[in-house]
Homo-oligomer: A and B are copies of this chain.
Amino acid sequence: MDNIKELLAGEVAAVDKTIENDIAGLAAEIDPLLQEVLQYAVFNGGKRIRPLLVLLASRFCGKDDHKLPMLAAAFEYLHVATLLHDDVIDHADKRRGKPSVNVQYGLTPAILTGDFLLARSMTIVGEFTGQDGLNAFCKATRAMVDGEFVQLRNSEDYELSVERYFEAIQGKTAQLISAACEVGAVYGGADLKTRESFAVYGSNLGAAFQIIDDLLDYLGDAGKTGKAIGNDLVEGKVTLPLIYALQNAADEDRKVLLDLLDNETRRAESFDQVVQLVEKNNGFSQSLEKAQQLIADAVAHIESLHCRDQHAKKILLGLAQYILVRKK
């Protein structure tokens, strides 16, 4: 499946080059420190999944021009903006193995650079796709914020339902990925049905992506993910594997689990035991199954569409599968 990365290397390079030129071009207008922070925050080993989806959706619909990489970059900008603010909120020290911006430069640059990227991304989307694109984009931004509030409410709520979990990840991850696909289709001149299909494809992809992320927090390799394993659990974030395990467990296991989860120190110390109990009660397998269903549904939504670029379609289908097997 590393195959998919090779297939996309050229596109990633094009997006990176566009971003590099854009930031360099701002030099005359912005403070040197802001420019430095932008550079640091945006070139940080990101997978560029959102911009790639913009590119591919537009090409799928038959449009590819020199402006498309900039529209794609806007989605990376918004994504990085939310990461900057998330890291402030979570007091995160690291981001992809490097010191986070709030640690490297401080709280003020982290918040302000996020605001800058938010405004810049909206300008670009507005300019390139008009009100239709801007609406999808702003809806995603609002949903992200709302999703964080829902997550705040969900924290340490071990009665959390699957529905509330999905509500939170819709906002946190899925809506922006959905918007990337939809705006790409808008730019590509797609009709309404095609736009809606791309929105569903993206939403499902994003939800599956988040489920895998949540699985990796339990089962991942910190050396690969760049994040400490068990972080979410210790912080009281209730994610899908735990929800399923608590639902499936018999009274005894359930009681033991809730006991282990009781407070932060306890959670940190008993991580391995929690993993075993989640495993035993099918929390991991059921989560993976759910992610697989979402991906199957995503694929079904674009497979039957009229397509003007078979190569783009092949990659979009491949990306969907890649999400299920990624290790970082």
Contact = CB atoms under 8 A, between A and B. Distances in A.
A29 B149 CA distance: 12
Nearest to A133: B126
Interface bin, chain A: 35 or more
Given A119-B118, A123-B134, A134-B123, A34 B108 contact: no
A111 interface: yes
Nearest to A144: B115
A107 interface: yes
A30 interface: yes
A146 B88 contact: no
Interface in A109-125: 109, 111-116, 118-120, 122-123
Contacts of A142: 29-30, 116, 119-120
Given A34-B146, A88-B107, A115-B141, 7 more contacts: A31-B146, A109-B149, A115-B118, A115-B144, A120-B142, A126-B131, A127-B135
Contacts of A85: 111-112, 115
Which 9 A/B pairs are nearest by Cβ-Cβ distance? A31-B149, A119-B141, A123-B138, A116-B145, A34-B149, A89-B108, A126-B134, A122-B122, A112-B145
A152 interface: yes
Interface in A153-167: 153
Nearest to A88: B111
A150 interface: yes
Contact of A150 (B31, B107, B119): B31
